[in-house]
Structure 1
Amino acid sequence: MQLKTPIIPVKQTFAKVHAEHELHLEAICVFAAIGFFLDQDTYWKDEVVLKPASINIIDEKNKLLETKPWFEWHYTPRDITFKQTLDEFSELFETIIKEQTAGKKVILPLSGGLDSRTQAVALKRIEAEVFSYSYQFENGYEETKIAKQIAETCSFDFKPFTISNGYLWETLDTLSELNECYSDFTSPRQMGIYDAFDTMGNHFSLGHWGDVLFDSMKLPQLSKEEELEVIQQKLIKKGGMTLATKLWETWGLEGEFKSYFKARIENLLNDIKIDDTNAKLRAFKSLYWAPRWTSINLSIFSAKHPVSLPYYDNRMCEFICAIPENYLEGRQLQIAYIKKRAPKLAKITWQEQIPFNLTNYKWNKTPYNMPYKIGNKLKRIANQTKGKKHVLRNWELQFLGENNQIQLDNTFEKLNTDNFLPKSFIEDVLQGFKGSPSSETAHAINMLLAILYKLK
């Protein structure tokens, strides 16, 4: 059997290889460090995930016999003006959206950013039937306000949601089955409204990966050593190196985790034949980050309705490879597209540049943004005096507070397996978080939850 994978796969496709059926402990350490499995790694040594943009020969026992690429990321910028680029993008994007959503009742998640707003413009132009929604954290930033304005301007049906404190514990079993424990459990906020998807429509149009394809990392041209350092810094989660190193040492693996990880990343970077630093690192993220992190929790959507992703489309990836890098910096193409096609949407607040919008965001600097900053700080202080802690991150909603602490203790007690990790190891991680709740200690909780759930 022959299987051809997309440039950015929507889901993982597993195959068997010749190896012992045992835990791939080195791969699990990488997972603990960066939050996703690297390249073709899985939990098991005799199982792999098919590479993106590859043609694979698989036998009747699902064993991988041969694999070869059909597409390789490149940077071949054309001699083209920005206006020509914008015209090409506009036509391509609207063509993809139209093909993906024709005859369907589209469900559009809206945020205060640019990717879903760009989709909204295209869906409005092709007169699609759209149900839109947005969500925000309980006691978090009121993101749904911006989304509601976008929906109203486009005349879309719209519903706001609030992701409640501690929703995770009631959905953990379902979520672990959907993402197969290849991601942490607090990142996919959509799980908090999972049942509401049933009556919204019959097809998701999702805006994932637009922010990577249509922006630059704004880096100067770097040496290979500098590129390696930069990508490692971007990959490693806060607290990730500490957790991975402890696991490595607990399992008595050969050498040091840091050296192993560096060598893996260096080999993967060297395989990308692109000289331009920004284009090369975008290719790296699209090869490894998108399919092994971003795509994992798309399973939550696809369990309810079919999904399509315009930015994942093969034609969009090929288009990006031929665009001059300076046209991508600062989200220029998306901003120009929205301003040209839907000027009213351009005047709605851009969440990344609050309180400014797409027409005046360049004024988001001192002293022009000081009134907003002062007012926002005073509002947070007022909420804190009322006992309302401002929620910024997913883990705060799920791990902080007395009830969440009880749920954490009970969950880890059920998952504890001495033959995999000593009970003392898990207790140290729990006590580390309880003694000092932070992004670093919460990351360790997140990763151990996923790992232990997979192996329970």
Structure 2
Amino acid sequence: MKIKTDCIPLHQQFAQVPNAAAKLNKKALCIYAATGFFLGEDDFFENRKVLQPGQTYTLDEQGAIKHQEAHFKWQYQPRNISFQTAVDEFTDLYEQILKEQAAGHKVLLPLSGGLDSRSQAAGLKHIGAEVSSYSYAFTRGYPEHQLSEKIARVCAFPFQGFLIPPGYLWSVIEDLVKINSGYSEFTHARQMAVLDAFKQMQGEFSLGHWGDVLFDRGIAAADEGKDDVVILYKKIIKKGGLALAEALWKQWELAGDFQDYLKSRLSALLAKIEIEHQGARIRAFKSLYWAPRWTSINLQIFEQAHPIHLPYYDERMCRFIMELPESFLADRRIQIAYIKQRNPGLAKITWQAQKPFNLYTYPYNKMPYNLAYRVQQKLKRSLQAALGQAYVQRNWELQFLGERNDQQLQTYLQREAFVDWVGADSIDKIYKGFKNQDAVFYSHPLSMLLTLSALQRYGLKN
């Protein structure tokens, strides 16, 4: 059997590992606990591996790999073109992809205060697609849906706003295990709160995922010249992730040191990327090993309702990226120029990452120009806190804060089979750290414990 994987796969595909035991891959699970996703070919089990992006595989009758060769390879071969030429070429390619993906059906467009969905709105409006838009915001959080509604209004798109309620996860957690098979931590999947509403919509989703990686710096300016492994290690390990990974490493009595193991894995994966330019090399790493194993996983939630399309996953877009000078990609320059050029009205709406400034004024998001806004927001949050209405900024706050959420959480953390598997000390360290020390720092490992418990309970299968 032959399998050809996309340059950024939307779905995972698997091969069997000959003569490998059908047992848990505990070293891979420690990386998963630290980062929230699996690296490279890693899977939950040692006898199964995930097929890699941009490859053509031949599998034997047992599902093992007989032959493998690359049909897509990340490179950095910038052409000597002007910035305006790059914007014009992006415009043509992007709108051609959107036109192909939107053909014959209504487009369901999730909007945010960022640039990726705003670029989609500009493009879909220009090509004359039939679009129905929506957005969501956290209860007591930043009203992102208000920015989204302004974008929809400029484009004359019908719009629906959703508020994500506290504690929504507990009623859908078993369904989520079935959808994403546990390959991503659970507290990020806010789409689950509105999945039933999605199913009532008519059309197909157009999703802007990965645009923010392709059309930005490969690395921060401050990281230029640093060792790649150091950059990636710091980037992929979530706050508190190391604490859980090392606790599990100890609980499972694995040989060696977890940090050394992770760094060796990163080094081996980087060695496969033959790109000299550091920013382009790190972008390629993210697209090879992060997008398919993190970003793609929860996109399956959308697919439970309707087909999905991703213009930035298109191979033509990835090849286009490889031909652009890094300076053109840095700081979202091309997307900003595209929006200004195609729909100036959209460019005048607040850019959430630079609030309260827009695409014309965001360079002023610095002292003293942003002082008044920062003071205003701090006073607003202080008032909410005084009224007992904590300002919600992160999805985990909806799941883990409050007595009712804690009761639900305990039903997963204190399951006897789960305690035996990961160890009472691991659970105790993370839970007490969250409750008594630093909730932000320990929110990720607490989410991973919940994910592992739910996975063990509902769906960990070889």
TM-score normalised to structure 1 length: 0.97
Cross-structure match for 2:35: 34
Describe how 1:50-199 pairs up with structure 2 within 5 A.
50-199=51-200
Q: Contact 1:8 / 1:286 at 8 angstroms: preserved in 2?
A: yes
Q: Which residue of 2 aligns with 1:321?
A: 322
How many angstroms does 1:333 deviate by? 0.4
Unaligned runs of 5+ in 1: none
1:136 alignment partner, SS class: strand
Aligned residue for 2:386? 385
Check conservation: 1:220, 1:277, Cα contact below 8 A: no
1:16 aligned residue: 16
Aligned-partner residue type, residue 73 of structure 1: W
Separation (CA, whole Å) in 1 of partners of 2:156 and 2:227: 48
Deviations along 1:314-338, one digit per CA (max 9) or x if unpaired, are: 0000000000000011101001001
Whole-angstrom CA distance in 2 between matches of 1:218 and 1:33: 22
Q: Which residue number corresponds to residue 2 of structure 1?
A: 2
Q: CA deviation at 1:415?
A: 6.7
Query: What secondary structure sits across from 2:421 in the alignment?
Result: coil
**C-alpha distance in structure 2 between counterparts of 1:257 and 1:221, whole Å:** 24
**In the superposition, relative to structure 1, how do residues 364 and 39 fare at CA in structure 2: closer, same or farther (>3 Å)?**
same
In structure 2, what residue type is equivalent to 1:219? A
Cα distance, 1:251 vs. partner?
A: 0.7
Compute the displacement of 1:436 (Å).
2.9
Number of residue equivalences: 455
Q: Deviations over 1:1-58 (max 9, x none)?
A: 1110110001111221111111000000000111100001010001111100010112
Query: Partner amino acid for 2:17?
Result: V
**In the aligned structure 1, how far is the partner of 2:283 from the partner of 2:399?**
32
Shift of 1:141: 0.5
What code does the residue aligned with 1:353 have?
Answer: Q
Indicate the larger mover: 419-428 or 346-355: 419-428
Cα displacement string for residues 324-359 of structure 1 (whole angstroms, at most 9, x for unaligned residues) = 000011101001001011011110110011111011
> C-alpha distance in 2, partners of 1:241/1:437?
15
Pairing 1:404-419 to 2, within 5 Å after superposition: 404-414=405-415, 416-419=417-420
Task: Give the C-alpha shift of residue 419 in structure 1.
Answer: 4.6
Runs of 4+ more than 4 Å apart:
220-223
- Which residue does the alignment assign to 1:237? 238
Give, as a single letter, the amino acid of the residue that structure 1 aligns with 2:6: P
Letter of the 1:34 counterpart = T
The aligned counterpart of 1:219 is 221
> Which range moved further: 65-74 or 3-12?
65-74
Partners of 1:139 and 1:388 within 8 A in 2: yes
Shift of 1:220: 6.6
Secondary structure at the counterpart of residue 73 of structure 2: coil
Change (3 A) 1:220 1:185: closer
CA distance in 1, matches of 2:227, 2:425: 38
Partner SS, residue 252 of structure 1: coil
In the alignment, is the contact (CA less than 8 A) between 2:58 and 2:67 conserved in 1? yes
Give distance in 2, aligned partners of 1:451 and 1:402.
22
The residue aligned with 2:460 is none
Contact 2:433-2:439 at 8 Å conserved across structures: no
Deviation digits for residues 171-201 of structure 1 (CA, Å, limit 9, x no counterpart): 1000111111011100111111111001222
Unaligned runs of 5+ in 2: 458-462
Q: Residue 304 of structure 1 corresponds to which residue in structure 2?
A: 305
Q: CA RMSD of the aligned region, Å?
A: 1.4
Identity %: 48
- 2:261 corresponds to 1:263: no
